[in-house]
Structure 1
Amino acid sequence: MGTTVVQLTPQKLEEAKKYYAPYITPRKIPYASFFAKKDHLTITAYNSGKIMFQGDNEDQEAALWQIKESNKPKKAGSLPENFAQKSIIGSDEVGNGSYFGPLVVCAAYASKNQLPTLKKLGVKDSKMLNDKQILDLAPKIKELVFYQELVVMPQKYNQIQPDYNAVHMKVALHNQCLHLLLEKISPQQPEAILIDQFVQESTYRKYLKKKKFSHSEPLFYY
């Protein structure tokens, strides 16, 4: 069984929801727009615009929605060779924060010495794991690595919102999360920091200039 993930525009996401309407199955999945079962295939669409196809011939189904290569949003750049074998801090965010639930940012540090253990546990791209596997792995990962989590509940989010737009808010939280984690792991130093890209690098760095703390380690967006 394979897995393919495609990023859709809001308009395309609505088109997909209408297209799969006959196959939609009620299921509570955090931040999901809809979940559908079609033949031997499952389709999970998220409010972020990502749509995940899992099952037989999932790549063929995904191809119906894939943007031509020339029109795809460009990543900030490719990662250096052997990046996956280095000691890295990674950070990501989930949620909106304004109404339905919190905005959560988390950063974690995995040293190169911990990578074999993490791999043995079965840690991999979350898109390749089901909910049960993620829930089983989470406490084991938390015991093994240093991490920092910041949670902004809707009430607090809306208090801050007049001074921070959504992107500025995320940049501030990522930056603070990274700063606190770097303090935790000191005197250890990561070889690089990887941020799951939610905005163009130039925009991130523009807001970063306004922050009290900024990190000097090599910074990558992907």
Structure 2
Amino acid sequence: MGQTVIKVNQQTLNQIKKHYEANKMNKQPPHTVFAAKQNGCTITAYKSGKVMFQGSSHAEEASLWDVNPQPKKTQKTNSNQSLEVLKQDHIGSDEAGTGDYFGPITVSAVYATERQQALLRELGVKDSKSMNDNTIASIVKDILKTEIIYSTVTLNNEKYNQLKEKKWSQVRMKAWMHHHAIQHVLNKLETTTPNGIVIDQFCEPKVYYNNIKASNDTPHQNITFLTKAESQSTCVAAASMLARYRFVQEMDRLSSLVGFKLQKGASNKVDQQIKRIINSKGEPYLNEIGKVHFGNTQKAKRLR
């Protein structure tokens, strides 16, 4: 069995852990942070920062993560630039639905001037992690009454599963979606050039750019990648809320199709709902409403 071992910093290790959370294995070897299995590949992350990829797709999975972080000097410069762009008009983008078995991935991009950002904050736009979906929906309805320019890209489950069969990673899908959501906003701006673009960081910049190029697109310039960007950029916070709002709308639509309220996330309750759907509509139906490569599918099939 082939394997690839890489060494990453703590920030990247946290991103890798988040990325594979849905397929986390129950048994965790000693001295490890986590272990997961996805796309026929076993991913084992150690406290030392080493991550081992084993299986037929080990090279592909390992290539998703930048093994050569930028020097500290470059990171410091990028940080200073980030602080400056946050004070100016800029585009911010974020996504929702990546860790949920049911429902699509949604990405939103928002452009707002300094004045508009102040208005958004007055409307309640901020890091939405502490808000419930009803509160987010209420604020988003107010956001949509403003003159901000935005775009939302939705990747439905059927297309998502087709891309997975073509060996697209979720990171590549998200990069592609962020790129196009941002491009749609830039098209709407026409002659206006934003001072920068801020993306809530879900992978190393090099990985992001490589994935855009792999889709035969040209990456945008002047992008700042920030972890927890929704707590620093009002534009990203607004984008996060819009993406969540759109995701919840789709979840409600899918729930009406199956006849009961679908559970968000990837818990044991989701396994039980998958089993219920398989029994009533057949396993192929999951392609239309779920991310079938998640470990939940196999867990549900083992339920009695």
Q: TM-score range by the shorter chain?
A: 0.5 to 0.7
Structure 1 position 197 matched with structure 2 position 201: yes
Tell me which of 185, 188, 192 is aligned to 1:188: 192
Q: Is there any run of 5+ residues in structure 2 with no aligned partner, and where?
A: 1-13, 23-46, 50-68, 227-304
Q: Deviations over 1:31-59 (max 9, x none)?
A: xxxxxxxxxxxxxxxxxxxxxxxxxxxxx
Asked which structure has the greater CA Rg, the reply is 2
Please report how far the alpha carbon of residue 213 of structure 1 lies from its aligned counterpart in structure 2 after TM superposition.
4.0
Is 2:212–2:218's contact at 8 Å kept on the other side of the alignment? yes
**Correspondences of 1:107-118 after superposition (within 5 Å):** 107-118=109-120
User: 2:264 — aligned with what?
Assistant: none
Query: What is the TM-score when the length of structure 1 is the normalising length?
Result: 0.61
Q: 1:108 to 1:175 in 2, by over 3 A?
A: same
State the AA in 1 paired with 2:98: N
User: 1:134 — aligned with what?
Assistant: 136
Tell me which of 218, 225, 249 is aligned to 1:221: 225
User: 1:37 — aligned with what?
Assistant: none
State the AA in 2 paired with 1:78: S
Q: SS at the partner of 1:106?
A: strand
State the AA in 1 paired with 2:152: E
**Correspondences of 1:1-222 after superposition (within 5 Å):** 9=17, 77-78=78-79, 80=81, 81-96=83-98, 100-144=102-146, 145-163=148-166, 164-222=168-226
Is 2:153–2:177's contact at 8 Å kept on the other side of the alignment? yes
Q: SS at the partner of 1:113?
A: helix
2:209, 2:201 → 1: CA distance? 12
Q: Deviations over 1:149-202 (max 9, x none)?
A: 111111111122233222111111111111111101211121110111111111
Q: Is there any run of 5+ residues in structure 1 with no aligned partner, and where?
A: 1-6, 15-67
State the AA in 1 paired with 2:189: I
Is 2:89–2:113's contact at 8 Å kept on the other side of the alignment? yes
1:180, 1:213 → 2: CA distance? 14
Q: 1:96 to 1:82 in 2, by over 3 A?
A: closer
State the AA in 1 paired with 2:170: A
Cα RMSD over matched residues? 3.2
> Between the two proteins, what is the percent identity of the paired residues?
32
Q: SS at the partner of 1:161?
A: helix
Is 1:191–1:217's contact at 8 Å kept on the other side of the alignment? no
Q: SS at the partner of 2:125?
A: coil
Is 2:109–2:152's contact at 8 Å kept on the other side of the alignment? yes
Please report how far the alpha carbon of residue 97 of structure 1 lies from its aligned counterpart in structure 2 after TM superposition.
8.7
More strand by share: 1
Is 2:150–2:185's contact at 8 Å kept on the other side of the alignment? yes
Which gives a bigger RCO, structure 1 or 2 (Cα 8 Å, sep 6+)? 2
Is 1:95–1:104's contact at 8 Å kept on the other side of the alignment? yes
Query: What is the TM-score when the length of structure 2 is the normalising length?
Result: 0.46
Q: 1:182 to 1:221 in 2, by over 3 A?
A: same
Is 1:98–1:158's contact at 8 Å kept on the other side of the alignment? no
1:165, 1:125 → 2: CA distance? 27
Q: 1:93 to 1:215 in 2, by over 3 A?
A: same
Q: SS at the partner of 1:151?
A: strand
1:96, 1:87 → 2: CA distance? 28
Q: 1:184 to 1:215 in 2, by over 3 A?
A: farther
Please report how far the alpha carbon of residue 109 of structure 1 lies from its aligned counterpart in structure 2 after TM superposition.
0.8
Please report how far the alpha carbon of residue 101 of structure 1 lies from its aligned counterpart in structure 2 after TM superposition.
1.1
Is 2:107–2:152's contact at 8 Å kept on the other side of the alignment? yes
Is 2:213–2:219's contact at 8 Å kept on the other side of the alignment? no
Please report how far the alpha carbon of residue 147 of structure 1 lies from its aligned counterpart in structure 2 after TM superposition.
0.9
1:122, 1:100 → 2: CA distance? 28
User: 1:36 — aligned with what?
Assistant: none
Q: SS at the partner of 1:86?
A: coil
1:134, 1:162 → 2: CA distance? 34
Q: 1:189 to 1:143 in 2, by over 3 A?
A: farther
